[in-house]
């Protein structure tokens, strides 16, 4: 079996653990995680994310984007820099992410900053369309609003709603639009009934695996930085929820991930 961690912040993990990107990749490979997507959150880490991929290009691809959590510091010039970077046509840049909407944090849900979130999302979705790239999407308490944007833009490559935590009905709305659901540490917690039930019922073809390292720790590792090698724990929880054989689950999700995020 082989795995693709479709959402990480490997630059932050490397700094927090004081380990090289190469070491993190080798640790992941020992647990069958052969590929990793690292995504950015603001313009000032575009270069670091790119450097991560260049350090291990056979194992790492990257996405560039402006995360809604940092909406107060994003500038219009950051969108220009994003477009400039995408214009380089780096084959290792296989996604626009992490982008999306955030309504769980009141400070950035004020009318003014919500409007700015929506404008930055719209601009980045337009870039995804222009450069024919999939999107890696953040959504907290904003699934209904996000699905409206996605329905309107109709991206050729679609993408994934990362770290999905919600109901089957919410997930199904994204899946019906052609999007994948990112499955991570949430399903390793027995109490996450709503999300576990959603992931159990969704088509296997609509699922991807991710860690969100160093965030979203799996059960038993609360308070510790998450790592790509712990993807296997989410996979094991997924196998408990699904009726398919583990080998079928692993291979189907690998193919889903490759089609979406691998470079040509």
Residue 98 among known ligand-binding residues: yes
Sheet of strand 159-161: strand arrangement:
3-8, 33-39, 60-63, 93-102, 135-140, 159-161, 180-183, 207-209
Residue 197 among known ligand-binding residues: no
Residue 212 among known ligand-binding residues: yes
Structure tokens at 203: 């088509």
Secondary structure (DSSP) of 168-222: HHHHHHHHHTT-EEEE-GGGGSTT-HHHHHHHHHS-GGGEEE---BTSSPPTT-T
- Would you call 65 exposed, middle or buried from its count of C-beta atoms within 10 A (0-12, 13-18, 19+)? buried
Long-range contacts of 254-258 (CB under 8 A, 24+ apart): 254/1, 254/2, 254/3, 254/4, 256/180, 256/205, 256/206, 256/207, 256/208, 257/4, 257/6, 257/35, 257/208, 257/209, 258/4, 258/35
3 state DSSP class of 110 = coil
3 state DSSP class of 98 = strand
- CA-based nearest residue to 41, from 49, 33, 30, 52: 49
Residue 263 among known ligand-binding residues: no
Question: What is the Cα–Cα distance from 18 to 30, expressed in whole angstroms?
Answer: 19
Q: Which residues are annotated as a binding site for a divalent metal cation?
A: 7, 9, 98, 138, 162, 212
Q: Which residues are annotated as a binding site?
A: 7, 9, 98, 138, 162, 212
């Amino acid at each position: 079996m082989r795995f693709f961690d479709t959402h990480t912040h490997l630059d932050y993990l490397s700094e927090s653990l004081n380990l090289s990107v190469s070491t993190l990749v080798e640790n992941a490979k020992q647990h069958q995680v052969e590929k990793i997507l690292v995504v950015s959150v603001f313009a000032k880490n575009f270069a670091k994310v790119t450097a991560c991929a260049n350090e291990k290009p056979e194992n790492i691809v990257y996405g560039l984007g402006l995360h809604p959590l940092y909406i107060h510091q994003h500038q219009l010039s950051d969108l220009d820099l994003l477009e400039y970077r995408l214009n380089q046509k780096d084959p290792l840049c296989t996604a626009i992410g992490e982008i999306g909407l955030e309504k769980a944090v009141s400070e950035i849900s004020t009318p003014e900053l919500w409007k700015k979130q929506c404008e930055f999302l719209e601009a980045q979705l337009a870039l995804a369309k222009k450069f024919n790239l999939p999107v890696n999407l953040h959504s907290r308490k904003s699934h209904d609003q996000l699905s409206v944007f996605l329905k309107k833009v109709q991206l050729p490559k679609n993408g994934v709603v990362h770290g999905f935590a919600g109901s089957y009905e919410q997930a199904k709305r994204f899946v019906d639009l052609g999007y994948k659901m990112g499955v991570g540490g949430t399903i390793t917690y027995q109490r996450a009934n709503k999300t576990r039930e959603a992931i159990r019922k969704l088509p296997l073809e609509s699922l991807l695996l991710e860690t969100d390292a160093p965030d979203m720790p799996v059960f038993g590792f609360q308070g510790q930085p998450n790592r790509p090698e712990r993807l296997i724990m989410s996979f094991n929880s997924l196998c408990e929820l699904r009726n398919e054989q583990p080998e079928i689950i692993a291979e189907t999700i690998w193919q889903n991930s490759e089609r979406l995020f691998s470079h040509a």
